[in-house]
Amino acid sequence: MYTFGIDIGSTTSKCVVMKDGTQIVGTSLLVGGIGTKSPAEAVRQALENAGVTREELAGVAATGYGRNRYEDADYHVSELSCHGLGAHHTFPGVRTIIDIGGQDAKVISLDSEGRMQNFLMNDKCAAGTGRFLDVMANILVIPVGELADYCARAKEPAQISSTCTVFAESEVISQLANGVEMEDLVAGICSSVAGRVASLAKRINIVPEVCMSGGVAQNAGVRNALSEKIGHPILFSPNAQLFGAIGAALYAWEKKQ
Amino acid sequence: MAEEVKKQRPPLDPNSAKARLGKIAAEAYSSAQEAKARGEMVGWCSSNFPVEIPETLGLAVVYPENQAAGIAARGAGERMCEISEADGYSNDICAYARISLAYAKVKSAPEQDMPQPDFLLCCNNICNCMIKWYENLSKDLNIPMIMIDIPFNPDYEVSDAELAYVRDQFWAAIHQLEELTGKKWSEEKYKEVMEISGRTSRAWLAATACARYEPSPFNGFDLLNHMAVMVTARGKLEAAEAMEKLLSEYEENHEKGVSTFRTEEKYRIMFEGIACWPWLRVTSTGLKSRGINMVTTIYADAFGFIYEDFDDMCRAYCKVPNAINLEYARDKRVKLAKDNKVEGLLVHTNRSCKLWSGFMYEMSRQIGEECNIPVASFDGDQADPRNFSEAQYDTRVQGLMEIMEARK
Ligand code: SF4
């Protein structure tokens, strides 16, 4: 039986086709989230990638900020549950998930069976989210995907003290003008995101194993800084950005069982 | 999302508790307006000021916090906030204060008008922002401000020293008002007010305690509306009678197996914080469409003022929710959560109310642990619509529901 999960976020659209709730047979990931053409294109690509037609799908679940506007779904599930399911599928021993997405950060705690027990999300401020990194990468004229490489070469991370994205932006600009190394600045930026999220995570009882999900999980700079700040190793999968969609496909499969 | 069951609602029976309570809340404004027209002095009064004092003296007072809530619920929060912000008030200041200061300046808001004040009654047992807000009103309008200082209490009990400090201030306030308005304090009248206020409070506590029934005979959002009467009119006979009617209706609902929560009650939660007035419909629909009934809130407990004599009354005002320590405040909520069998806690991180929202971070964690229930919080504001995101709210409520669902 094939099930389908679509995760429509604020900045990206992700889809996963699953067979029998165990095997991932098709995926897609497109830039452009809610309100763009990307969700439809992501669906098309994932189906093509899996060699499966829409008619063959036994169940479809939508998650992410755009979930309620996606009409072609049997279920609309919060990204909290979906990230939990997706992470548990990938790392069966995981108990704490730290998800940093485009516009929010969340910490989800699971019980030993992978059921969500509790969660915490960032407050209304965008600091500590993917958007913060986007803005910073933009002013440094570095592709977001390369932030981690810069981090790895840093000698002494710069101190970014402003929480506010706008103020942090001018702080970065003035440090740049003062001759602070680009690498050190990037490390400082990653560490500032990690610091915000670590304090959120510490409010929930962090039980290992810990993993990261969402787009920012790809960034080893943030991951390492976060791991250091929370005092636990952080598991990482190249599929981290797809956890929401995997979870949605699993949800649809469970429901259809 | 579960489909909302639409039922035809019968027209409101004028004898129903809802109609009577609505009328009392509206009369709180119209009677003050009439008093003003008769040339009497009218006061603006903070919500947890001992209302027994103006009531016994026969003084007309209105409540800026209530007015601000009404203005915000009718969509004018932002317009009013912008007026005071343009005057230099920071948008970090409580939105009730910003709206009230704006109203004192422009003197008109069709969403909820009220007479301009001749004196101010301020009590800081809810927060200290109140003091500066009223001081500024007093200065801008050049009118006297009568202040009762009730400090935050780190202990469980009200000490004799605190009682003496507060009691003397109550008397000082009474004497100031006598002098200012020419009205006289009467012990006999006070006893009557105390009895009525006790009657109203007992009925309110009993009505809100009907949430222990499963399903609850009422939608918890009702309490947010009826509370206005508890704030402004609990010393009035009509209020006591209307609250008793409310209690009998809830009991009757329970017997008949009906509820003012007009859809299947699948989950029961406690709501923490002041309502998000500008987004009341969005916040209530987000719950109701998922079968989540907010069965209880600290308000259920907060406005039950029951006391035997003057000293006891002083103690009651020292024990209002924002004046008590975290552990005591937590215990009250844990009791409500357990008595009413709630399955989750939804916390409004209200950007206006620093004190309340500030200690909720830790308190909600402790409540969640002690009651073994999931906790979700969302950002919002009681009166400034700019501090709320519908998508954020929806995700958090859905996450909370999914945990409650998985636990069933
Ligand atoms: S809402 Fe909070 S800050 Fe505003 S007046 Fe009330 S207690 Fe004070």
- The 10 Å CB-count burial string (b at 16+, else e) for A194-210 is bbbbbebbeebebeebb
- B60 pLDDT more than 50: yes
Q: What is the pLDDT of residue B9?
A: 66
**Which residues make Cβ contacts (< 8 Å) with residue B372, sequence separation at least 6?**
none
Read off the DSSP letter of residue A159: P
- B307 pLDDT more than 50: yes
Distance B138 CA to ligand 1 centre (A): 18
Of A79, A117, A120, the CB nearest to B395: A79
Cβ of B389 under 8 Å from any chain A Cβ?
yes
Q: DSSP labels for B159-210?
A: PHHHHHHHHHHHHHHHHHHHHHH-----HHHHHHHHHHHHHHHHHHHHHHGG
- Residue B205: pLDDT band (50, 70, 90) is very high
Mean pLDDT taken over chain B: 94
- Tell me whether residues A78 and B398 touch, CB distance under 8 A: yes
Q: What is the pLDDT of residues B376-408, one digit of tens each?
A: 999 999 999 998 989 889 999 999 999 999 998
Please state which of the ranges A114-128, A209-223, B201-215, B244-258 shows the lowest mean pLDDT.
A114-128
Distance B128 CA to ligand 1 centre (A): 8
| The model's pTM | 0.89
Q: How many domains does chain B have?
A: 1
Residue in chain B closest to A68 (alpha carbons) equals B1
**Which of B128, B129, B298 maximizes ligand 1 atoms within 8 Å of its Cβ, making it the mutation to test the pocket?**
B129
Distance B356 CA to ligand 1 centre (A): 8
Q: What is the 3-state secondary structure (H, E, C) of A201-225?
A: HHHCCCCCCEEEECHHHHCHHHHHH
**CA–CA separation, B209 and B212 (whole Å):** 6
Q: DSSP labels for A99-158?
A: EE-SS-EEEEEE-TTS-EEEEEE--S--TTSHHHHHHHHHHHT--GGGHHHHHHT-SSPP
B344: tokens are 């989750």
Class for the domain spanning A93-236: alpha beta
Q: Is residue B155 part of a domain?
A: yes
- B4 pLDDT more than 60: no
Residue whose CA lies nearest to ligand 1 atom number 1: B353
B28: tokens are 């709180």
Closest CA of chain B from A61, distance in Å: 12
CA-based R_g, chain A, Å: 18
- B2 pLDDT more than 60: no
The ligand 1 atom nearest the CA atom of B46: 5
% of chain B surpassing 90 pLDDT: 88
- Tell me whether residues A68 and B392 touch, CB distance under 8 A: no
Of B349, B394, B399, the CB nearest to A123: B349
Q: What is the pLDDT of residue B7?
A: 52
Residue of B312, B283, B173, B267 whose CA lies nearest to B221: B283
E strands along B49-109, which residues?
60-62
Residue appearing with tokens 């996450």: B399
Residue whose CA lies nearest to ligand 1 atom number 5: B130
Of the residues B351, B386, B403, B408, the best mutation for testing chain A's interface (the one with the most A CB atoms within 10 Å of its CB) is B403
Read off the DSSP letter of residue B16: S
Cβ of B304 under 8 Å from any chain A Cβ?
no
The parent domain of residue B110 ranges over 17-183
Distance B129 CA to ligand 1 centre (A): 7
Q: What is the pLDDT of residues B132-167, one digit of tens each?
A: 999 999 999 999 999 999 999 999 999 999 999 999
Q: Is residue B89 part of a domain?
A: yes
Q: What is the pLDDT of residue A168?
A: 84
Class for the domain spanning A1-91+239-257: alpha beta
Q: Is residue B332 part of a domain?
A: no
- Tell me whether residues B368 and A77 touch, CB distance under 8 A: no
Q: What is the pLDDT of residues B87-137, one digit of tens each?
A: 999 999 999 999 999 999 999 999 999 999 999 999 999 999 999 999 999
Read off the DSSP letter of residue B4: P
Q: Which residues of chain A have pLDDT under 50?
A: none
Which CATH number characterizes residue B89's domain? 3.40.50.11890
Cβ of B92 under 8 Å from any chain A Cβ?
no
The full set of domain ranges for chain A reads 1-91+239-257, 93-236
**CA–CA separation, B408 and B403 (whole Å):** 9
Ligand 1 binding pocket (C-beta < 6 A) is: B 94, 96, 126-127, 129-130, 274, 322, 352-353, 356, 382
- Tell me whether residues B365 and A203 touch, CB distance under 8 A: yes
Q: What is the mean pLDDT of residues B47-62?
A: 94
Q: What is the mean pLDDT of residues B184-206?
A: 95
- B71 pLDDT more than 70: yes
Residues of chain A with Cβ-Cβ distance to B361 below 8 Å are 203
**CA–CA separation, B190 and B207 (whole Å):** 25
The interface pTM score, or ipTM, of the predicted complex is 0.81
Distance A16 CA to ligand 1 centre (A): 48
- The 10 Å CB-count burial string (b at 16+, else e) for B104-123 is beeeebebbebbebbbbbbb
